[in-house]
Amino acid sequence: MMRYKTVAAMLLPSILLIGCGGEQTPETRRATSNSADLTGLWRLNFETSQSGLNADAGITYTLVDNGNELNMVACAGRQTATLARDGNTVSGMPVGEGTITSNDRMTASGGLGDSEATKMTTNPAFDMGSLAMSGGDLGSISSANLCVQSDYANILGQATQERYSATILLNGQPLTFEISRMGSIGKGTYDVNRDMSEGGIQVFLKSEALKPRVNRSELNLRNGSLTITEDSLVWVKGNFSADMPNGQTVAGNFEFEKP
């Protein structure tokens, strides 16, 4: 198990690229109140601004509260680490020491920017939607053991890139499914291409578990389309059909809860 000093490296990749509570209505972001401890599923929203470039990142992770230590599983890579807790201070947060304001909220400030973490549910499990796809040598992949991260960058108010990155487990190993676009991602249909040219969208898969199926650990889909059917406060949903590098077609659908 990794110690807390390694946590920033686990949580920051997307940044570097640019219980309690009752039932929730469909358009209400999940949140808790008056939790007994810090255990649960958390979202951390990070903001930074440098030389006209503004970036927002949504990061998710789970915590299990063991008193002076917190066991954390990060969405990216599904890696486990141990954070140290001293009173209301948590060491190892990605943008500096975290300050516990309640069992439902933490804040942190550092050289990169400011962040606020809020608890989504007291259950420490990744249940942020679903992903299903199938085709050719890829076979069928489907999971609701899913976490979502996002990042959005703009220069002087103009969107430059938006991305959603979901991670599931495939044969016990993390599989990352990303959709990225130069500009913003909203409802509509986009061409799938490798370089996001001419308003298109990139669909990227990465996992060591892909090698036995397609003889590679990374895939950029191409020659197809992706449709966003819902882009609400809580959800981004859609479907896609595009080719793998070997020419075989992969089709699928996704429902991602926004971090």
Query: Are residues 81 and 101 both part of a single domain?
Result: yes
Per-residue pLDDT of 122-137, as tens digits, reads 999 999 999 999 999 9
Residue pair 121/130 in contact by the 8 Å Cβ criterion: no
Given 83, 101, 121, which residue is the final one in a domain? Answer: 121
Per-residue pLDDT of 118-177, as tens digits, reads 999 999 999 999 999 999 999 999 999 999 999 998 877 676 899 999 999 999 999 999
Given 76, 100, 121, which residue is the final one in a domain? Answer: 121
Range of the domain at 233: 129-257
Q: What is the 3-state secondary structure (H, E, C) of 103-135?
A: CCEEEEECCCCEEEEEEEECCCCCECEEEEEEE
Query: Are residues 142 and 251 both part of a single domain?
Result: yes
Averaged pLDDT score across all residues of the chain: 89
Query: Are residues 44 and 23 both part of a single domain?
Result: yes
Alpha-carbon span 35 to 27, nearest angstrom:
22
For the chain, the domain total comes to: 2
Q: Global pTM?
A: 0.87
